[in-house]
Amino acid sequence: MRKAFLLILLIPTLLSAQNQQKQLFNIESFSMLESNNLNNDFFLNFYTGQFLDSALKHNALSQLNDMNSLGYYTINSARFAYINNEKKFGPYFNISYQKMLGMEFSSRFFELVFIGNESFSGQNIDLTPLQLRYLEFGSIQSGVLFSPSENISVYAYAGPAFGMIFQELETQNLEMYTSDITDSISLNYQLNYSRSPSYPAINGFGFSAGIGAEGKSYGFNWSVQIDNLGMLRYNERSVFTAKDSLIEFNGFELDELNDISSSIENELDRFENAFVLDGDTGNIQNMLPL
């Protein structure tokens, strides 16, 4: 298994002790980009916007299989705890903002996007699986921190969660046929798509909770945490659609040369209407990803 990742960790910590109390203030920023099969060279060039030459793309393609995954996660958080040394517990507060992207794709889909469909001429290829989920949300939580000893702390917290962006695409069928001389293509697809509304900025509400423990033992710092136990419910302007369609493209037909602009516009309108993902509106509810 190959993994490529970017990790940025910033944790300035202030710990002040007095006779009867201890305060902890922590700010954290963490980002990670990961794939199970994409190699580091392709991953880092793509992520940083550098040129992807043919050798790099074909080398990456050779390492993919029928099921590949890509994930991105970032969190910015601040937490504060106040501990009474005599009672060994105190209040715990946490504020966070998180972004998550998860994607599953096949090697054939990768080849189509980054190399093209020339090698698929005369073939009907299956582009599944193709799944995509993107989520942005924030939370404000409070709870209790218990410190049974100087080197161990246990905490639990809960509070409201606020949804900003949610998009999910799931394909049941995605087939593409390219003619022998690549002068026409057809796409047969069946998919489900849901998304939160684009406005207001906060369009979903719910709750989130978490538990954790951290400390120092035998000279090693350790931490265990389970976060994002909860759900979000997006407002009634959220969209859900299920589409089952066939699109064919055989080029542009021109009766007069001066009519080329109109012909292109009509063809683009046809494609746009075929891919419009507007559907039924209503509340969407989903669990937060752990």
Look at residue 199 and tell me whether its pLDDT is greater than 50.
yes
Please give the structure tokens belonging to residue 171.
């394909």
The C-alpha R_g of the chain, in whole angstroms, comes to 25
List Cβ<8 Å contacts ≥24 apart for 15-20.
19/85, 20/84, 20/85, 20/86
CA atoms within 13 A on the CB side of 256: 3
Q: Which of 65, 68, 170, 184 is nearest to 124 (CA)?
A: 184
SS3 270: helix
CA atoms within 13 A on the CB side of 264: 5
The confidence band for 273, taking pLDDT boundaries of 50, 70 and 90, is low
Strands (DSSP E) contained in 65-151 are 68-84, 89-105, 123-126, 131-149
SS3 30: strand
Determine contact, residues 93/141, Cβ cutoff 8 Å.
yes
Look at residue 10 and tell me whether its pLDDT is greater than 50.
no
Residue-wise pLDDT tens digits, 27-53: 999 988 888 888 888 888 887 888 989
pLDDT for the residue numbered 181? 81
Residue-wise pLDDT tens digits, 117-151: 888 999 999 999 999 999 999 999 999 999 888 88
CA distance 259 to 176: 30
Look at residue 157 and tell me whether its pLDDT is greater than 90.
yes
What is the rounded average pLDDT for all residues in the chain? 84
Domain boundary assignment for the chain:
8-287
Please give the structure tokens belonging to residue 242.
């299920």
CA distance 8 to 242: 38
Look at residue 257 and tell me whether its pLDDT is greater than 90.
no
**pTM score:** 0.79
SS3 52: coil
pLDDT for the residue numbered 272? 57
Count the helices and strands in the chain (H runs, E runs).
4, 14
